[in-house]
Amino acid sequence: MTALAVPLTPAAAHAATATATHGRLTYTHGTFTASHQRVLAVAGTVNARDTGGYRTYDGKTTRSGVLYRSEALSALPPDGVTAVGRLGLSRVIDLRTPTEIQYDGTDRLPTGVAATPHPLDDTGLYFLMRQVVGSKDPAYQQATLGDGKAEERMRTLYRGFVTSAANRAALGAAVRDIANSTGPVLFHCSAGKDRTGVLADIVLRAVGVPAAVSEQDYLLSSELRAASDKALRDQLKATGYMQNPDLLIPLQEVRTDYLSAFRDQAVQDYGSFGGFLTDGLGLDALTLARLRAHTVG
């Protein structure tokens, strides 16, 4: 979620590391260790990865080194910028709102790489979270986020990716940029999980990756972000901002029912996922063919 990527107190050190091991990346946080070939070792990130390596319905595979997803790149240290430079990016797509960029900063990118803004509305969650956390008021925090309210706000956010004409325009423009690119592309929002997750789901399913497989790519964000998200909650409790920081968990995690809210709304409004692509996002057959040609080998 947008606001949680920018705590009101100094950011806790990332409680996670990624190291190269025999061509794979072993990602470790807390007691959880998993090997994900697509996770990138980029200093300053915990959720940067390659969308390559997924099988499509017709037996082909999404290409590696072509399309990347991540959290915001505005806090990269110099070695993180260097690591991003090695990806050979032709374009970075920034899904954050202008307000987020104003507060969080522009991306720190290698020379010659520019960020293209395609902002997706966060339904006011950025400022809401700053207000809720900054209040230091347990009763207000419980009333705003407790008893399922946080979960419903997330489902509302995801439905809005379909119901908002501006969001549909931004998503369609982002897909067209990917389809028409001449080199590798990276796209991101703030935490790299909600808006980024939805765009990844659109692209992967549009090129023939089964919905269940795309969902697993989406859900991986919760695993990769678990340590840094917990570090933030611990910090907010230790500094007196929240007595019950677990109220934030529904906003920090990605969940199947959040993604389902987006997918179901798309089918409800446009009859099918294909209808959403063409009628909702304005993608024509040539653009979709280019997208597949660029991302599938």
pLDDT tens string 228-284: 999 999 999 999 999 999 999 999 999 999 999 999 999 999 999 999 999 999 999
Mean pLDDT of 138-165: 98
Q: At what angle do helices 125-135 and 138-145 cross, to 10 degrees?
A: 150
The answer to whether 92 and 107 are in contact (CB under 8 A) is yes
**What pLDDT shows up at residue 125?**
87
Mean pLDDT of 31-58: 81
pLDDT value at position 36?
Answer: 56
For residue 126, what pLDDT is reported? 84
Q: What pLDDT is attached to residue 27?
A: 33
Strand partners, 187: 69, 93
* 65-92 residue pLDDT tens: 999 999 999 999 999 999 999 999 999 9
Confidence band for 127, pLDDT divided at 50, 70 and 90: confident
Give mean pLDDT, residues 284-293: 98
